[in-house]
A and B are shown apart, each in its own frame.
Chain A
């Protein structure tokens, strides 16, 4: 198949442009995925992990509050318990409104029921009752509920941390996939340019040089220019036309 120079040049540039368009599109697509992963990590998992941490902190404070009540420090213990309860409920609401993982809803429901049971233990009077100073009551009731609740909250934190890790891995892979087409296209474009340069030299510059040499070698008696150009493109046509022109000159000279 013989292509014209115009077609060859156009094909070369079109292929280069298409490579760059595809690389650009792929990078944009992957960067869009990257942004989705960021949102997933920040909105879905990070919020729940932070809420879990706050719940755990509030629980620890509530535990301290109970111990103060056991020591007869009613006012101080009550204040800590009231504030911690508010803090816990605030964090719990955040976690409840951010259910994104499998089994997360069940865990949230479990936390709610366990917290209500735990709250029941310290909401009733402790000071001036048989519970005050009763470490056995604390060990067998409040502390057990406290440990169970902590376990469930930790489970909630773990599933969100695992998901965060998975998302971070996806994020890393998406980042990698967004960058790689660009790098490969860059190297591809360099190789392509070298290849194009080689063909331009071979198909344009060399034939023109050959033709110039042939014209320089031209002997007025020959009326024929011979170059080594084998391609049937425009430069070959130019050589044919030069030879035709020389023949016409020869014929004109002969008729004189």
Chain B
């Protein structure tokens, strides 16, 4: 493994972070905030460690698979380490483990927080929190691939490592074009949402921060009471629409805009995804209305927002779902497990895998009936290979196993079952809020430090889709 090549790409990762740190630094300077020095120092560290490998490394064309895996996994870890420095140096509610948790939660677009008073943070740090979402949303490696010079072969390897086989299914382009489409859709959605939020009554600062968190399906807000603070139906509607869009495969969004036949309206997976979400909203709204929680219109409004927020792994809130009936909580937990589509910015198990899993179960039943039969699974008019099917089934098993182990570990620390269960699944799925002590209006501050660390690893595992991490520790060459 050529470490100098890995260091060089990681250097670019750091420089990319430095660009966003610099914007936060300008905000801190303009407002004369106490976060000025922590941000300045972190920016300098990023620049120093980012430039240094470039002095020593020359041009490198290709990357091996092992090098690609190492770049992707270590890229995420290093980014999270750098991301925690402004919090750690600033102090306030942050100690070492809390700063790490907040940073990992930001980059992996989980949106879980340890902060009791978000509004006590300087504007520059609030921006940095949202920026970590935006950098991590589409994947920092994707951004790096766009700016990485002389790296056609490296680009292909890294793209294959960063994006799962299913994610690439709706991209019918070369590696560079795929990356460009991802970025264009990502930036485009962010700009449009910012503008709409401004028109709906938010100020520019809140608009940009909430657009960053929505499109990245993150969930960090600049307010303690999240979206509930704004008490604005239009803001909620805009955020709901963009959360839903951000949970759909970006290749299909691009196809819809450009008039390609691979578009949202022709996609069976999108149709099923939206239908299930619609069903979830209706079930939750009905239960809330029947139990006299709210009026019918309020029930529909709150149910829509919470189901879409959790179902797309965003994690924004307009109400505290911890006080809702158990049935509604179970529906929301289902969406916490299911998550949104592959090829989007959402994390977790992904709806496509659930879809493929159900189809695979159907296929196995048919095989029991007709042992000699040959049955193929089709998704979006594409035949799914046996290896991809096996890979997906194994992923589902690994996902459930990881979630079970994490819950088990949390319960050893005397954390109640609801909190342990929902915190594990919410962090592994990069959703953010759970139930119990970590509900939509609560935070993770009350958990023991070890629990926070385990949950932060969960977030990274969820974002890297488990396989990459296993591959890193198993590939020798």
Contacts and interface: CB of A to CB of B under 8 A. Distances in A.
Interface stretch (B44-52, B127-135, B254-262, B292-300): B44-52
Interface stretch (B89-97, B180-188, B323-331, B337-345): B89-97
Interface in B390-409: none
Contacts of A177: 34, 37-38, 89-91
A19 B49 CA distance: 10
A2 B54 CA distance: 10
B37 A19 contact: no
A11 B4 CA distance: 16
A124 interface: no
A139 B392 CA distance: 85
Interface stretch (A91-99, A152-160, A197-205): A197-205
A181 to B, nearest CB: 5
B91 to A, nearest CB: 4
Contact of A19 (B34, B48, B58, B91): B48
Interface in A1-32: 1-3, 7-8, 11-12, 15, 18-19, 22-23, 26, 29-30
A18 B34 CA distance: 22
A135 to B, nearest CB: 51
Tell me whether chain B's interface is mostly helix, strand or loop, or mixed: helix
A202 B44 contact: no
B7 interface: yes
Given A3-B55, A11-B52, A176-B91, A181 B41 contact: yes
Interface in A91-131: none
Interface string B76-115: 0000000001001111100000000000000000000000
B3 interface: yes
Contacts of A237: none
B473 interface: no
B37 A172 contact: no
B4 A181 contact: no
Tell me whether chain A's interface is mostly helix, strand or loop, or mixed: helix
Contacts of A22: 40-41, 44
Contact of A15 (B37, B52, B92): B52
Given A22-B41, A22-B44, A30-B37, A199 B56 contact: yes
Nearest to B94: A176
A249 interface: no
Given A184-B41, A199-B4, A15 B89 contact: no
Contacts of B41: 22-23, 26, 181, 184
Nearest to A176: B91
Find the residue from A191, A195, A230 having the highest chain B CB count within 10 A.
Answer: A195
Contacts of B51: 15
Contacts of A2: 58
A133 interface: no
A180 interface: yes
A172 B91 contact: yes
Interface residues of A, number: 32
Interface string A217-250: 0000000000000110000000000000000000
B288 to A, nearest CB: 42
Contact of A192 (B49, B55, B90): B49
B52 A184 contact: no
A173 interface: yes
A8 B4 CA distance: 14
Contacts of B4: 199, 202
A12 B55 contact: yes
Find the residue from B4, B7, B37, B40 having the highest chain A CB count within 10 A.
Answer: B37
Interface string B136-175: 0000000000000000000000000000000000000000
Q: For the complex of A and B, list the 6 residue pairs with the smallest distance between their C-beta atoms, beginning with the closest.
A: A176-B91, A180-B89, A199-B56, A11-B55, A173-B91, A15-B48
Given A15-B48, A177-B34, 11 more contacts: A8-B56, A19-B45, A176-B89, A180-B88, A180-B89, A184-B85, A184-B88, A188-B45, A192-B48, A202-B56, A203-B56
Interface of A: 1-3, 7-8, 11-12, 15, 18-19, 22-23, 26, 29-30, 172-173, 176-177, 180-181, 184, 188, 191-192, 195, 198-199, 202-203, 230-231
19 contacts: A3-B55, A7-B55, A15-B48, A15-B51, A18-B48, A19-B45, A26-B40, A26-B41, A173-B34, A176-B89, A177-B90, A180-B38, A181-B37, A184-B45, A184-B88, A184-B89, A188-B45, A191-B49, A199-B56
